[in-house]
Amino acid sequence: MRGRKRIPRLFFSALSLERMRRTGNLTSAIAALLALSAPIVFAQAPPAERFVVVLDAAHGGADSGASINGQSEKAYTLALGVRLRSLLMARGIDVVTTRESDTTVDPAQRAAIADHANAQACLTLHASESGSGAHVFVSSLAPAQQAAMLPWKTAQAAWTQRSVALAGVINSALTHAGMTVTLGRIALPAIDSMTCPAVAIEVAPGQSSDGAGTGSLDDPDYQARVADALAAALVEWRSEERGGRQP
């Protein structure tokens, strides 16, 4: 067993050594040499510091969602997703999206994309004229133990505790940005099947006391404030995850 695990490790270390020799990076070359002689336990260390966020713009295609000041919710969530993606990528966070255009994506496809991405956070984005501020939801599934085989429809049960933690970080960031936030539990087929910390966020109009801008959903200042706060939340979540917090 040990020998079989060692082969790919040696192979990749040798590859990186060759690449670093060519690029002239001496420190990295020494690190790669050390890796060659490192004990096998390092092979079980976390993989590369890749931090992936799935952005799921709700609705799309035949499903327009709510009507927001004459605009459809599907367009609103897509625009918010695009804005948030560029903010996250600028902060070194990899982003996977469930849709890039006005296409119909069913809940099972959304969950499949999220599960395949092996993400550290999955955000489903909604918008509504009802209520105010942001409505943050976590799956209402009762927490369950992680297992090798999880039932597809309730796979999120193994992640709800981390999802609640992610919702807490998002709540703090949005509150810090002057928004009112409500927290709740919900039965949503898309997030119920996700195997990642998953949160559904519904953006509602801001209140006039929120400060800058009118707080209307179509106010660009308000949209920017929401996206900035969500990006800040995910940066904070990344540092918490890297800080060794495990479920």
Partner 1 sequence: MIPRHQTILFVVLLVASITLGAVLWTTLDRAHKRLLASEESAPTQAPQVAPSEQATLMVANDADNSVAPRVFSLPLPQNPEARARAVLGKLLDLYCAPGSGHPVPDGASSVSQVFLLPVTAVSASSTAGAGRAATGSSRAAGGNSAGGDELAVVNLAGAFVSGHPSGLETETLTILSICATLHANFPNVTEVRFLVDGQQRATLAGHADLTRTYLTSETVPTEGAHS
What residues line the site for Zn ion (CB under 5 A)?
Answer: 58, 65, 126
- CA angle, 174 then 178 then 184, to 5°: 45
Shorter beta-carbon distance to Zn ion: residue 82 or 144? 82
Work out what residue 130 binds among partner 1, Zn ion, none; the CB cut-off runs from 5 to 8 Å by kind.
partner 1
The reply on whether position 154 binds partner 1 by CB under 8 A is: yes
Q: How far is the CB of 139 from partner 1 (least distance, A)?
A: 9
Packing angle between helix 160-176 and helix 220-242, nearest 10 degrees?
Answer: 130
Q: Is residue 236 close enough to count as binding partner 1 by CB under 8 A?
A: no
Judge contact between 200 and 124, C-beta under 8 A.
yes
**Ramachandran angles phi, psi of 94, nearest 5°:** -75, 140
- Find, among 96, 133, 88, the residue nearest to 237 by Cα: 88
Q: Which residue in 32, 54, 56, 73 binds partner 1 (CB under 8 A)? A: 73
The residue among 13 and 139 lying less far from partner 1, judged by its C-beta, is 139
The answer to the question of residue 161 lying near partner 1 (CB under 8 A) is no
11 CB neighbour count, 10 Å cutoff: 10
Query: Please, are residues 168 and 202 in contact by the beta-carbon 8 Å criterion?
Result: no
Q: Decide if residue 128 touches partner 1 (CB under 8 A).
A: yes
Other CB atoms within a 10 A radius of the CB of residue 96 amount to 17
Size of the residue set binding partner 1 (CB under 8 A): 36
110 part of the interface to partner 1, by CB under 8 A: no
Instruction: Give the x/- contact pattern for partner 1 in 189-218, rule: CB under 8 A.
Output: x----------x-x-x--------------
Nearest to 197, CA basis, from 152, 241, 246, 163: 163
Residue in the shown chain whose Cβ atom is closest to Zn ion? 126
For partner 1, which is the closer residue by CB, 38 or 183? Answer: 183
Q: By CB under 8 A, which span of 46-54, 90-98, 183-191, 214-222 interacts with partner 1?
A: 183-191
Out of Zn ion, partner 1, none, what residue 187 binds, judged by CB under 5 to 8 A for its kind, is partner 1
Distances (CA, A) of 154 to 67, 165, 188, 197, 243: 30, 19, 10, 13, 28
Toward partner 1, which CB reaches closer, 65 or 215? 65
* CA–CA dist 68, 134 (Å, integer): 15
Q: How far apart are CA 187 and CA 64, in angstroms?
A: 20
Q: Which of 31, 3, 32 is nearest to 16 (CA)?
A: 32
**Residue number with CB closer to partner 1 (101 or 130):** 130
By CB under 8 A, name the binding residues for partner 1.
59, 63, 65-67, 73, 126, 128-132, 135, 137, 140-143, 154, 157, 160, 171, 175, 180-189, 200, 202, 204
